Amino acid sequence: MSAIAQTTAGTIEGSEENGLCVFRGVPFAAPPVGELRFKAPQPVESWEGVREAKSFGPISLQAPNEMLEALLPVSDPPQPQSEDCLYLNVWTPGLDGARPVMVWIHGGAFTIGSGSEDYYDGANLASRGDVVIVTINYRLGALGFLNLPALGETNFGMRDQVAALKWVQQNIANFGGDPGNVTIFGESAGGMSVASLMASPEAAGLFQKAIPQSGAGHNALSVEETNGTAFKFCAALGVEPEDVDALMAADASDILAASVAVDPLASAESAADMADAGASATPQMPFQPVIDGVFLSQLPIDHIRSGSADGVATLVGSLDEEMKLLLAAGPTEPMTDEAATAMFGMMHPEPESAYGTYRAARRERGEDDSADEIFVAAIGDIMLRVPGLRLADAQTSRAPTYAYLFDWKSPGMNGALGSCHALELPFVFGTHDAAPEFCGSGPVADAFSELTMDTWLNFAKTGNPAGAGVDAPAWDAGAKPIQVLGDNPRVEHDWRGPEVGVWDDVVS
């Protein structure tokens, strides 16, 4: 069986699968190769006849990284990679009608991942919600985010995302979607991307709703910071920073190797290494959105505070134990209070007081107050949870805004993973049954995945995540209501407030 659809560049043929029309490997921009390397994405060249769209396209060049891959899904076998990677995928219940559209932006520290990972199969969401699901690739690492004065351009990976959203605006009606009802959603670096798109004037009007998951608006680097990385990258590549011809001619494998050489997360071999790289209000990812004065003029959170996303309904949240994977992957010897307090000193100007607040709050709630647990909780808070709450504060006067907390517990590693980073992904997409060791299995897990899918679908359809499972009060900076999604769905107010308050003068 096959499905035929028309795009602005030509006709494509997908597949009919279990009542859906599925199109894989659809080009949304010209291949960013040759003279288009280190350039903003360009329009797709039209083709004659019918182009097959039944297989995923190549993914962006990326190097394997055990620490990062522990935090995110990785397909097995590995997916083909290429600089020619600007492809998207569509799952739709039908080619007629005007359904809500959900566009997924994958995570991976802006250095790994793709829109075709196994977890991101859009079939279950599309079928359950009668919506159109789109997943995209974008350029990663230096190929996506190198900022070098001689190049004259940057933010290639972010502009790839904008190009994909423009493709949606121009084409999705032919896939049964409504270009006037588009929700962007993404996790980790994908959540940071969502916030950057909310902030950038180049993405204005391309979507109506946004779901930043475990990533928000504090992640962008100044020109000075990124120039420093770029010069180190050129040294690792063995070219002069002014030699654009050499950069354009360099072998892609050498560019990838040089990207890894300047990335502390890519070279992390332990939880301590990753903590050293990430323990700050702005995690030290050398490749991330750049404050270039055009795509972004300031941090995304500051754009959003100024109204860049006026009218964009927002659902923002994180997991309750984001960085439990660090603890699970860490050394077997427990951390001492002295060592944990010293690590707090990397993040907070008054580490003893901050550490004491965490211990007292956890003890009062009857939770594990060991040094390991306190430190891992603090890393998750400063990197992901608190920036998300700041985004909710900034957006709530601009559009309907809601906050969630994901509190399902993974059975993995005998429960040591808790409600860790990336655990929500298979529940959001209804692909949890493919990873029972990570997600759990059985009727309770199935029902929870349905609740999670419905929460995201309700928001995409109406701008409000509330449903039969749990209420969802609109965000209020005073009461701080949070929709808790777990085996006990509920609404909490100012959840973990003492710990969040520790960062009031640290994360603006």
Out of 114, 188, 200, 318, pick the active-site residue: 188
d(Cα 342, Cα 336) in Å, to the nearest integer? 10
**Helices 371-380 and 271-278, axial angle in degrees (round to 10):** 40
Picking from 316, 282, 471, 506, the residue whose alpha carbon sits closest to that of residue 399 is 316
Neighbours of 224 (CB within 10 A): 9
Catalytic residue among 421, 424, 449, 499: 421
**Which one from 83, 322, 373, 499 is the annotated catalytic residue?**
322
Distance CA 286, CA 266 (A): 10
> Using CA of residue 266, residue 270, residue 273, residue 279, what is the dihedral sign?
positive
Q: Of the candidates 94, 117, 88, 95, which has an alpha carbon nearest to the alpha carbon of residue 18?
A: 94
Would you call 200 a catalytic residue per the annotation? Answer: no
What does the block give as tokens for 259?
Answer: 């990207």
**Is residue 322 flagged as an active site residue?**
yes
DSSP string, 304-324: HHTTTTTT-EEEEEEETTTTH
Report yes or no: 346 and 315 within 8 Å, Cβ to Cβ. no
Distances (CA, A) of 343 to 279, 301, 333, 376: 8, 26, 16, 10
Catalytic, 193? Answer no
- The H or E element containing residue 213 is strand 209-213
Q: Which amino acid is at 270?
A: S
**3-state percent helix, strand, coil for the chain, nearest multiple of 5:** 40, 20, 45
The catalytic residues are: 188, 322, 421
